[in-house]
Amino acid sequence: MHYLDWAVVVAYLAYVIWDGIRMTKHSGTKEGFFLANRALPWWAVGLSVMATQLSAITLVGTTGQAYSDGMRFIQFYYGLPFAMIILCVTVVPFFHRANVFTAYEYLERRFDVRVRTLTSFFFLISRGLGVGTIISAPAIVLSIVFGWNLIATIFAIGLSTTVYTMFGGVQAVTWTDVKQMVIIFVGLGVCLGVILWSLPTGVGFGDGLRLAGSLGKLNMVDTTFDLKEKYTIWSGLIGGLFLMLGYFGCDQSQVQRFLTARSVDEGRTSLLMSAFLKIPMQFLILLIGVMVFVFYQFTPPPIVFNETEVRRASSNAEFVRVEREFAAAYDERREAALRYTDGDAAARADYATADKAVNESRKAAIAIVKQGGNPGFNDVNYVFPTFILQNMPIGVIGLLIAAIFAAAMSSIAAELNALATATTIDIYRRLIAPDASDARYVLVGRITTLIWGLFACVVAIFAADLGSLIEVVNKFGSFFYGSLLGVFVLAFVVKRARARGAFFGLLFGIASVWIASIYTEIEFLWFNVIGCVVTVAAGYVISLTVRGGEPPSIGTEKII
């Protein structure tokens, strides 16, 4: 990179770490460290909610996903607005009234300490895996940019974010999230502008969309009802609804966000902000991925979006032959694309045929890379960073790399703080030292932040080669969220539910998801439905075996 790009990235990182550490003056008590004294404005909480979701995985993985698969991924989010409305009416006021630090703290009042500890444990496992995946995204970028060792890069990113999270607590996380969202949106806007400016003379935005649409990359609704199909309107509206209810209503990283709001109404508004802005934001990011695809219709793309792997495979005669086929197919596709945008309708068939040949050459090249010693390689995660480095102007590269860092650090910090909160409140305070001082709880919170940061770095080492990172992180969550949601359904809705039913219902729910993942071809969004239904059904049946004893009164309160 040019020294100006270096200056932009270094200045950004230095500012974020400094800004986070200066928030330590607000984090001396457990209320301040874990919940920002419940005094944050709705717009800051709303931006923090969105920033927690908008990780570097979203920028790196989603753009790469759109490049290869088009806009269909947006169906994943169709259940989000409905989930947010449900949670605003139910969970937000309920948790505020319960005056809890964690979502799982309430489960002890409704059931018992075993249920609280088990749900908190499964949250810790799911989020620990998730934050590791989040760290791997910017690590991939840096390893490409600077040729650094991937493992060293992972620890550098993970631990630098851990530092300001350790000292500043949730207050630092929230306010740095707000500033990072500004960097992200500026970076995305500049990126889209540069792409449009770089298209050939006479080829505009509408022409690019027509090219992408002719290959099906603008399809945003698939009405097929097939549990084996990953992204359809049904998997988004049903499976996505259960996933979003579990994530925003039962995951401490999100519950903690709206618990920091000044009031119930401000907590609700913060979630509604995400409900109405998340899909347009995701649409913009996917659109940028599609426009990267359009850009490469007129500029030769790499056959594999990872220079290291290309250099490694270049000594393979078969790879060299495939590269020649790829170059010839690209030339044919470019010529057909230009004719099609000039109004030659007959060129559409030639364009589709040439694009198919380009894709077949890419698949063959990736297969050679996998056979050459990297069986888990998937270049979806490398598309956007490679595009930035090879095609953006000086200064803009630094801005976009900083945007990727902003997305990564906001999510990493939020997840680490939530992990530390659940560990400190649900494990340390409840089971080890219930009468310790606030200073001790804050110290434990900082230590556990560091421990979880190290754990996440280890997970990141293995996550980088698991495939599309945006899918990997949601797969991790889908193994747990539906079952966790089921426990809260038992607590809020099923008056007859008892502790034994909730405890074993959760275990049955988790087991059912693992069985479905191993022995069926059902796609991961439906795991959330399976986990929730099995947990509620098993929990209710098992509760019927418990004689006498009404559940605690808090469990029978109305939640609206």
- The percentage of residues in the chain with a pLDDT greater than 90, rounded to a whole number, is 28
Q: Which of 116-120, 188-192, 242-246, 497-501 has the lowest mean pLDDT?
A: 188-192
Highest mean pLDDT among 36-50, 54-68, 366-380, 451-465: 451-465
Contact 174, 48 (CB under 8 A): yes
pLDDT tier for residue 28 given thresholds of 50, 70 and 90:
low
Instruction: Tell me: do 128 and 220 sit in the same domain.
Output: yes
pLDDT in tens, 97-131: 888 888 898 899 889 999 999 999 999 988 888 88
Q: Read out DSSP for 417-437?
A: HHHHHHIIIIIIIIII-TT--
Entry pTM: 0.81
At residue 464 the predicted structure's pLDDT band, cuts being 50, 70 and 90, is low
Q: Does 555 have pLDDT greater than 60? A: no
How many domains does the structure of the chain reveal?
2
Arithmetic mean of pLDDT over the chain = 84
Closest CA to 484 of 421, 445, 539, 521: 539
Q: Is the pLDDT of residue 12 over 90?
A: no
Give me the long-range contacts of 91-94 (CB less than 8 A, separation at least 24). 91/249, 91/255, 91/488, 91/559, 92/258, 92/264, 92/267, 92/268, 92/271, 93/264, 93/267, 93/268, 93/559, 93/560, 94/492, 94/557, 94/559
Q: Is the predicted pLDDT of residue 542 greater than 70, yes or no?
A: yes
Q: Which residue has the higher pLDDT, 268 or 40?
A: 268
Residue 335 pLDDT > 90, yes or no?
yes
- Last residue of some domain: 352, 376, 400? 376
Alpha-carbon distance of 492 to 471, in angstroms, equals 30
Whole-number pLDDT of residue 553: 47
pLDDT at 167: 74
Same domain, 223 and 131: yes
Please give the Cα distance from 254 to 278 (Å, whole number). Answer: 14
Top-confidence residue, 539 or 414: 539
pLDDT of residue 551: 53
Which residues, other chains included, contact 435 with Cβ-Cβ below 8 Å and sequence gap of 6+?
A: none
Give the residue numbers spanning the domain of 424. Answer: 3-296+390-465
> Picking from 153-167, 292-306, 312-326, 342-356, which range would have the lowest pLDDT averaged per residue?
153-167
Domain end residue (candidates: 465, 500, 515): 465
pLDDT at 559: 41
Boundary (domain end) residue, out of 403, 434, 465: 465
Is residue 454 within 8 A of residue 421, CB to CB? The reply is no
For the cut 50, the answer to whether the pLDDT of residue 319 exceeds it is yes
Checking if the pLDDT of 550 tops 60, the result is no
The predicted pLDDT at position 556 comes to 43
- Provide the token pair at 71: 């806009």
Quick check: is 488 in a domain? no
CATH number, position 191: 1.20.1730.10
